[in-house]
Amino acid sequence: MIFSIGVAIGQNDESKPEKKKERPVRSMFESSVLIDDQTSVIPIKNTLVMHIQHRFGLIKTNSASDLFGIYAPSANTRMGLNYSILNNLMVGYGITKKNMYNDFQVKWAFLRQTRSGNIPLNLAVYANMAIDGRKNSVFGDDYEFANRLSYFTQLIVGRKFNEWFSMEVNVSYTHFNAVPTEKINVTGYEHSVFGAGGHVRFKFSAQSSIVLLYSAPIFIEGMAENTDVLNDWSPNVGIGYEVATSTHAFQIFVTTADGIVPQDIYMYNTSKLGESEIRFGFNITRLWGF
Amino acid sequence: MKSIKHISIIIFAIAIVSVFMAFITPQDQKKGEKWDIPEKYQTMVNSYAGDASLKKIGKMLYSKHCKSCHGSKGLGDGSKAAQLDTFPGDFSSAEFKEHTPGDMYYMTYVGRDEMESFEKKISDEEDQWAVIMYLAGLQNN
């Protein structure tokens, strides 16, 4: 009797289906940045990432005489380093030419789409704090260090539909402690703005993709500080080509925004696609594993 | 007068040496020494063997991580191969065909010298074996 029960238990164990290990989908995007956006991608633990992000001048301003903005003096550059503390947690620092923003950032990918489909989406939060690094005099007579600070928080939702198509949408909140005052002849700026956007990747070979981006500030009149003079907010649009190798991702694109730090783009981008206010730009990502 | 003659001889000698130096070509790449592969790797079992769905994955990962040195057909003629001190190997050669999948796993994910470890770049075990299976397929070219 005892023997037969033992056999029965043994049979139950054998018939129990083996639990398959869940794995995140392979490379939803090739880099943690895509044109001007953050992606939900975080390289594996102990990876150091170097970013070089560059935006040239407007193409139309001098056309061929400054090689369509490539040799224009109004270029903007950000150099940054990120480090993956965990497989789903990354911190970073960067410095940008425009306004000498020093940004400190953190990204947490708290849910990852799995290959089995049991988890259908990537979910990540990205937040940064930037310090405007220009001279004290820029901030007017009543200078305070806090006036240099701005904040950006974003929720990113992503899905890799198949090997060739991935998409992410995001919502964000931007806040600047101080915005331009009457001193520089601008009035009416909001301190805070919500935003929404998305980007897609069409991968057409093992290494190459076409990438598109759209993001827009959302003006909510009921929450506005000032409705007499409205910010000249403009959506940001970008389209580009991406090529990825083992340790690099290169993105070459045209975009409307001259800013690189996201809160600057949402708050201060006034370039309009409809008026052909676009510029060339590129991002280079280099990875080192430790 | 004598010094001018000496200077002329020196200039002529430099010119001759420069002409000959122009024809100097880089030395051939050295062939890598035999790999010393621990037994536990030699006999390693590929638990993903026969999974046809990994063929495409292996090809894509090979293109991204390996092709620049090893070439699109694994002949060791990738765009970066000429910069290496050591020839990256010809996967279609009889010598390479003697390697077991475990040998290839060791060479790829433990590595040595210029053939650095790809363990962190291709961190998922299933992906790692997808590349090995693709390499094994290149042997038949």
The CATH number that applies at residue B44 is 1.10.760.10
Nearest to A173 by CA among A195, A156, A188, A191: A195
Q: Which amino acid is at B135?
A: L
B23 lies in a domain?
A: no
B51 lies in a domain?
A: yes
Q: In Å, what is the CA distance from A176 to each residue of A232, B64, B85, B103? A: 16, 41, 54, 57
B17 lies in a domain?
A: no
Q: Tokens for B75?
A: 């002949």
b/e burial code for range A85-100 (CB count within 10 A of at least 16 → b): eebbebebebbbebbe
User: CB within 8 A of B128, min separation 6: which ones?
Assistant: B105, B108, B109, B119, B122
Per-residue model confidence (pLDDT) at position A7: 43
Nearest to A289 among B62, B63, B121 (CB): B121
B25 lies in a domain?
A: no
Quick check: B123 and A44 CB within 8 A? yes
What are the tens digits of pLDDT across the range B41-66?
Answer: 998 988 898 888 899 999 999 999 99
What is the model's pTM?
A: 0.82
Domain that holds residue B74: 30-138
Return the CATH class of domain A25-289.
mainly beta
To which residue do tokens 């827009």 refer? Answer: A216
Rounded to whole angstroms, how far apart are CA atoms A187 and B12?
76
CB B137 within 8 Å of CB B102? no
B78 lies in a domain?
A: yes
Per-residue model confidence (pLDDT) at position A107: 98
Q: Tokens for A217?
A: 């500030």
Per-residue pLDDT band for A33 (boundaries 50, 70, 90) equals: very high
Nearest to A246 among B60, B65, B124 (CB): B65
Q: Which residues of A touch B62 (CB under 8 A)?
A: 206
DSSP type of residue B86: B
A and B: number of Cβ contacts within 8 A? 33
Quick check: A289 and B63 CB within 8 A? no
Number of domains in chain B: 1
Residue A255: what are its φ and ψ, rounded to 5°? -145, 160
Q: Which residues of B touch A116 (CB under 8 A)?
A: none
Quick check: A206 and B121 CB within 8 A? no
B88 lies in a domain?
A: yes
A12 reaches B (C-beta below 8 A) = no
pLDDT at A43 over 50: yes
CB A194 within 8 Å of CB A220? yes
pLDDT at A56 over 80: yes
Nearest to A207 among B57, B63, B120 (CB): B63
B21 lies in a domain?
A: no
What are the tens digits of pLDDT across the range A94-145?
Answer: 999 999 999 999 999 999 999 999 999 999 999 999 999 999 888 877 788 9
B7 lies in a domain?
A: no
